């Protein structure tokens, strides 16, 4: 796959923040019009952070059509922001499909932030 065509596209950000509630970011690639797949989303990074120690261990999940569905265990202790960089090997979301990053509630008063960086380009 040649991602160099898409690298000139501006990086976009999708983010969500919740206090003691499920925090979800969903990115949907635009539907395809015409023959060439110009509406592919390339996810270059995901960040998960918490304002304090979660009340219990939780599992964040990343799901999508061509992304390997996986989870990340968040400890029941204070942690630095978790950064998943995909710069040169981005997660791919094809036209009309979704990528979902979801973190369950982390406890009373704990703010969870989820940020996804991506660009739209040609596959």
pLDDT tens for each residue of 41-66: 899 999 999 999 999 999 999 998 76
Sign of the dihedral through C-alpha 105, 11, 37, 85: negative
Determine the Cα–Cα distance for residues 25 and 117; give it in Å rounded to an integer: 11
Average pLDDT over every residue of 65-88: 87
pTM for the structure as a whole: 0.86
pLDDT at position 6? 47
Mean pLDDT of the chain: 87
**Assigned token pair, 85:** 């960089």
The CATH number of 6-121 is 2.60.120
40: pLDDT confidence band, cut at 50, 70 and 90? confident
| Domain definitions of the chain by residue range | 6-121
């Amino acid at each position: 796959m040649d991602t160099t065509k898409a690298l000139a596209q501006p990086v976009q950000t999708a983010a969500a923040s919740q206090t003691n509630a499920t925090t979800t970011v969903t990115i949907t690639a635009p539907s395809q019009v015409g023959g060439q797949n110009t509406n592919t989303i390339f996810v270059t990074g995901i960040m998960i952070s918490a304002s304090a120690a979660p009340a219990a261990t939780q599992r964040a999940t990343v799901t999508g059509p061509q992304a390997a569905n996986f989870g990340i265990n968040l400890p029941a202790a204070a942690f630095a922001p978790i950064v998943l960089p995909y710069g040169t090997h981005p997660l791919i979301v094809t036209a009309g499909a979704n990528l979902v990053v979801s973190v369950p509630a982390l406890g009373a008063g704990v703010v969870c932030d989820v940020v996804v960086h991506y660009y739209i380009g040609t596959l």
